[in-house]
Structure 1
Amino acid sequence: MKERSAKYGIGDVVKHRKYPFRGVIYDIDPVFANTEEWWLSIPEGTRPSKDQPFYHLLAENAETEYLAYVSEQNLVADTSGAPVRHPQVSEIFTRTRNGSYKMKSQSRH
């Protein structure tokens, strides 16, 4: 598999192209790095290619907050400017003026 550079970065707010959820990126895998079982659970006709970045999101939809793992081809930038309400966002990030998020500094021991 050939790696590609990630289009989005940690702290960017994105939304799914097809499904009604959005979130803030907290980690990136340069290529698919989940289980084969997870991969095969995606319907074959909509299964994304493994040789692209996959993003870990602190995600939300209208009903709940959760963690999501999404291929780059299924994401677009969320330009709404609305804050992400996932409860872990404030533990990991501070919100910037432009609506994205910046990782909090981690203290060194």
Structure 2
Amino acid sequence: MQYRQAKYAIGQIVQHRYLGYRGVIVDVDYAYALDQAVLNEVNANLSNEGKPPLEADQPFYVILSGDTQDHLYISEVNLRDYDDFLDVDHEEIPQYFQSVEQGHYVPRFSVH
């Protein structure tokens, strides 16, 4: 499988293209990395709604959303830029980020 370049970065605020959830990215998988049965179920539901399936070979992002207080796992195709900086109100933000600079969350730890 060839991996695609991720469009979004850790610490960036994004919005779900269709559901409107706004959140900050805390992790990136360069291809779908959860249980294949879950993706099959999601794609079956999309098919029943007349929508195209999600491709497993695209980046998927773990997002902290202040809208739900959950960790969301969202495919790149379902995200869009969120240009207006508003703090994400999620209780786990301090575990992942040390500060905010120029509208971007600065990770607490970096991997080199």
* TM-score of the pair, normalised by structure 1: 0.86
Equivalent position of 1:9 in the other structure: 9
For 1:5, the aligned partner's letter is Q
Aligned residue number for residue 52 of structure 1 = 58
Q: Give 1:40's aligned residue.
A: 40
Matched, 1:67 2:67: no
> How far did residue 38 of structure 1 move?
1.5
Structure 2 residue ranges without an equivalent (≥5): none
User: What secondary structure, in the 3-state scheme, does the structure 2 residue paired with 1:27 have?
Assistant: strand
> For 1:50 and 1:40, how far apart are their aligned partners in 2?
10
Tell me the number of residue pairs that the alignment of Structure 1 and Structure 2 aligns.
Answer: 104
Query: What percentage of aligned pairs have identical amino acids?
Result: 33
Q: Give the gaps of 5 or more residues in structure 1.
A: none
Amino acid at match of 1:40: N
Give the TM-score normalised by structure 2. Answer: 0.84
Aligned mates of 1:75, 1:35 — CA distance in 2:
21
- How well do the aligned residues superpose, as a CA RMSD in angstroms? 1.6
C-alpha offsets along residues 48-90 of structure 1, whole Å, 9 cap, x if unaligned? Answer: 11111110111232xx310000111111111121000011012
Instruction: Looking at secondary structure, tell me which structure has more helix per residue.
Output: 2
Q: Secondary structure at the match of 1:65?
A: coil
Instruction: Verify the 8 A CA contact 1:39 1:47 in the aligned structure 2.
Output: no
Alpha-carbon distance in structure 2 between the residues aligned to 1:105 and 1:34: 24
Q: Which runs of 4+ in 1 moved over 3 A?
A: none
Aligned equivalents of 1:14 and 1:48: distance in 2?
19
Which amino acid is the alignment partner of residue 6 of structure 1? A
